[in-house]
Each structure stands twice: as structure tokens, then as C-alpha cells.
Structure 1
Amino acid sequence: MDKKNDMTYKLLDLMQKTGYSIVQHNGQRKFGPPPDWVGPAPQKGCEVFVGKLPREIFEDELVPIFSKVGKIYEMRLMMDFSGSNRGYAFVTYTNRMDAYRAVKELNGYEIRAGRHIGVVKSVDNCRLFVGGIPKTKTKEEVLEELSKRVTGIVDVILYKNCFDRRLNRGFAFVEFTSHRAAAMARRALVPGCVKIWDQEVMVDWAEPEPDIDDEQMKKHLEKKEYANSPNKDEGIGSVGAGDSSCDSPIDVKPCNFMYNTSPPKETFPLAPAKLDAMCKRYLWAPPRYEYQKYVDPTGAEVWVGRVELPHVGSPLLNVPRSIGPLTTRSCFSVQQAHVEAAENALHHIKMLRADLIQRSTPAPVPPVYPSLLQPVPNCVPLPYEYLYRPVSQPAMPVTVPAIWRTV
């Protein structure tokens, strides 16, 4: 009996024992859902990603292993044209606690001699960031207008302006029924092709929120730590969702590393609002900003900002600690320095979270998730660094105040 027929009999035997169906479609083979399942699919957070699978392993071996920690709702094994698996799979459990146990107990499981699999929580992002919304629009108006163009919207999160409660902040977070619905909406709302209220909107993925396990959340709720929070759902937008008036800290060109020579851009400075929302949601201490003005070698007045997060804790860090101070490059105004300082802080948080995830995984998993941003160079443009100049030119005097002004 050849291997193909042998595997067919094994899968048929698995179907007979469990009552689950097995269907192959579009490069993946689905095991499930349970024959006795009634009602909607499990909630978000019940899926795990399984990586570093040996190519000759299939459902007949995987199902018994992953069934040990809880009832499987569905398993999706990625297949290639030769009949081998592609080295990874997705397992959805009937509840979030079983998914949490799978990550805790099966990550690093030795499935073959010397072969350890990686099991991490799956990124199932159902939220989009939408910028460029007229500040006079209400939540109901935004929901009605977006519903004319896309489907599957569950909720619209729209924040009020801090200074005028009759206005919004110019952006919103839109929650969808599924990741697929959010992806289809992102395709439909392509900037430059679709206008809402006669103006273009900016659409991007919202960054997935830091994970909080059920036991940790239960402790928070018992302490009523969120009772005094003014916003019940402070969404976290992606770091690059809103361009600032300064150059992005990711797009650093060697010839323009020390200071900007291009005029500021008229865009939506959303980084400070997103950083404030994150600190409020997770009860971190608010960011502290400082600014310094001085004269660059061309004689222009420029500003350098720095930001410190004095107390960052759960769900990002188990032991709270300070982050920063993080220093910006020179900017044309204190407002630009304020925006770039917030962008640096958001980017640092994102890289810190990525580092924690990598350290918790024995080896890199296949490139299934969206790629993370690259680290920012440690740019500290202190005044004495402005002595960088061609050798043929004489040194230029620089006027530097000695005191930082705290805002």
C-alpha cells in the first residue's frame, strides 16, 4: 500500500472516530467543526498558530496532541501541491482558555526526536484605523456612511476632541465581524479611489492590542482598576497609521539624518493621541515631554523633543518600569517635536513587544504575520553633534540654552 492510500485510510479513520469532517480547499485542509456544534463560531482569541511542523505530519497525529488541552473547533493545515504540509497550521478551540493552555503547554513540544514545534496566539485583527474623518461628524454618521461602502461593521469607536466636545479627533477605529471582513473593507477603501464626504480618508490596520490572559484580567476586574477610566475602549492604532509633520523615524536617509531640510507636511498628527489612548487604557502613567530650542549651522531655529514613559506595566510588562527618555531629531517647531517624540515612543513599545514575543518562542516561525517595523537608530542630535560639517568649512558658532522646558 503506497503512502497516499495509507494516509487516506488514516484520515477516514480519524473522521469516523471523531465525527468531524475533513475538506481540502484552496491550499488548506480543514478538520471540523464539531458535528454537535450549535451557534456562532468561537469568539476572537480562540485560535493559535502552529509553526515548525515536520512536512510528513498530518491530522492523524496533530489532532490527538492538540485535543489534550481542550476541544478543537477547527484545525486548518496548510498544504502544498505535492501533498505535504507547508510547515504550519491554525488550531481554533471552542474557548479562549483552551487556546491559552495550548500556547502555555504545547509551545516547544517535541513532536519528533529533536524537532520542537512553536505554538503562539494567532493574530486575528478585526479592527481598522480610519483617518481623515471630518471633525464635525458623529459616530452614527460615520457608521452610516461607511456601511454604504463596506459590510460586516460591528462598531465604530470615535473619540471626542479634548478641547471641544462637539468635535471628534479626526479619526476612528472600525470593528468588523471577522478578519476577512476587515481585509475586504481595507481593499474597498483604497485611498485615492474612494472619497467619503468629498475627501479622501486614510485606512490601515489597527495594531492588535497586547494580550491579557483571563486570570490577569480577572484580577484587574476584581480590583476595579478600570472603573475610573474615562474611555472604556481606547483602541491602539498602528504606529505608521498617521503621518506626522516631521519625517517618519523609520524613513531615515543618510544625507538627512541630523536635521530635516524639507518643509513640514500638512497631515494628521495622530501619534500623541494614540499614545495617550494607550496609557489611559492600560493605566500607565501619562507621558512626560520636554523640548529644547537652539540654532543649527544654517542659522535656523530648530526644536528637539524628548519623551519619557515613567511607568509602563501590564499587559506589556510583568514588572513595571520606565521607558526613555527618547530623543527626536531636530524639527521646525515645538509641535513637530511633540508629534515625533510620541511616534518614537509608540515605535519603541512596538519593538519591545516584538522582542518579548521572539524571546518566548524557541525559534522563528514561518512568515505568516505582517512584518514588524525595523528598529530606529539611536538618534540623539545634541547640539555638539552639529559640528559635523565638510572639512573645508570653518566651525560655526551654535547658541544653546542650558535648560530644558518641561510641558
Structure 2
Amino acid sequence: MAQQDLDPELMWINAVNTVNKIALKTWVKTTGINLVQVNGQRKYGGPPPGWVGEGPGCGSEVFIGKLPQDMYEDKLIPLFQSIGKLYEFRLMMTFSGLNRGFAYARYMNRRSATAAITALNGHEIQKGSRIVVCKSTEKCELSLDGLPCLLEQEQLKLLLQSMTTGLVELSLHPSPAKKIELMAVVKYSSHRAAAMAKKKLVEDTQLLCGHPLTVDWLKCDLKQKLCNPSAHALDSRWQINPQPSLCETTASLQCDLLLGAVATLNTLCQRMKFGKPVFLTKFLNLSSCGWLRFWYQVVIPGYVVPFSGYEWFIGENLPVEEKHEKAKEVVALKILTALGYTIG
């Protein structure tokens, strides 16, 4: 659902819970409060005027459960504001306009959140209905499953830093579900940063040039398995070093190199179903000793990021076409070496 300001004249189009919807409409007009509908939740607040930097830190948000589904912000926000100033309030909504039975209240500081738990947990919000108020579990870790096994940790880190904010830690592991692929565990500085990253990564289908990727919150059981040194059943299938999974043997790769580095790289990409590499080369200058310096970029459709940089070779007297072919060989050999192969 697209983000939009809550317009009572447009939102209340059905007859479900009409009385309470009218009460909310009146409250919104009277208080001038702004509510925003965003992807299944209705939000109040955010950074107040004059607020600088990140939002309130860990421990400042509380989870509110067992809410009557016909209850809205006109009853809930004043109640939780009576404990301390709210930074944000989020009520989870159904398509019918009822709430989903839970909400989140973020205070300006941890002290107010603790006070809200003490004062309101078990509070009888209406006759026969007692709510649950407890510390919100603020997840900060994502799992990215289905990454290409050629992927290097530093390449993924640079890519994620360019797309998201608040990245703290990143590690690569064999995928628990997908053969010869990788899973990344990515930790962010806050739940909000992680949630925004998750949304971005789910929506951006170009992250891996169309390569299917599963993005989810890191499950507790999987985290425990990864943290347990004795639980390495995943590692018995193959090592993180992709060499055994990308070709039958190192010897067969060395034999392939007799055909040329470009042909070998093409074969490797074909085996891994990555698509044919596309080479771009541009010559820059010639040294006094006859060395040609050139810029290159190699795009492999199924790989996470392109390879690029600068290289040299001796070829002053070669025709232009042969110079480019020689440059491609130099670059292909460099890429194969970077992927962990010993070229003999």
C-alpha cells in the first residue's frame, strides 16, 4: 500500500466498527494529529522538530499485545503518552480497518519505555481485556540466501554499503538450503536500519543481476547453529572456497588454460549458469619500454558486481584488434586467479 496521509473521508469506506472509526475521525480533527498508513501499519510521530541524528536507541520501544481489535489510536496514544513523550506509535492494521491486536510504542528514551512496561503491563484497557506490554525484540540481523558461490565478502560488503545504511557486520556461510551457493548474515546498527535494508533488498531485483535471492530476518535456530563450533554439518557438503564446486579438478582447469584464459572463463561461467562475460577495454598510454596500460571492466550477468581496474602488457606493435584480444586474455587470467585458482 502506498504511503499516504490518513484522510478519514477516504479511509472509512466500509461499515466495520463504524462507531469507533467516527470517534477516531473526530479525535484526529480535534488534535490535529497526523497518522500515516504504510504497508499494513498506521504510524504516528517520527523525529520531532529539532531532533538531530538517529532515533532513540535500543530498549526505547515496547511491544503492546492483546489489544481489542476494534480499538484505535484515539484511545491508545493518550494512554501511552501519559507515561512519557512518544517518539513514534505504530498500530498494525487489517484490510478491513480493524487492528491486528498489537502495536509498538517508541519513547524518547529507555527510562520511559521501562516505566510503560511497569505501569501498563496487565492494564485493563476495557472491561475484560488486559493488555500485554513488554520490551520489543528489536531484530538487527538479516540472512541473504542464494548468493553466488564466487562471491567475495568484501565485494558484497561494498555493494550493501552502497544500497543500505547502518551495516555493522557481515559474514558468509555455505547456504543451508541451496547447493553450491552462499548465505550471508548481515548485522545492522538498529532494528530500523535492518528493516529499511530488508525492504530495499527485497524490492531491488537487480541486486544480483536477476539472480534469485531470499532475504529474511535471521532465525534463532540458524543463528545458534552458525555460532556453535561443533555444528558444522553445512561445511561437510563443501568448503567456502568455491574451487571444488566450480570445476571438476584444478588439473582440468589448467588443461583448459591451454585453450586460453578467455575460453576457460567462458566455460566456467557456462558451467555455473552465470551467462557469458562481457569485456570492455580502453587503452590509455604507452610507456617508454613498450608497455601498454589499459582500463578494463568485465560484466558477468549472474555475478554480483563487475570486475574492473587497470593492467599492463607488452604489445606496442600489435594491430588494434589483437591488442584488445591480448588485453582480454590478461584480464581473464587475472579474474581466474582472483577466484582462487593456482595457475600453473
TM-score, with structure 2 as normaliser: 0.46
Q: Report which of the two structures shows the higher radius of gyration computed on alpha carbons.
A: 2
TM-score by length of 1: 0.40
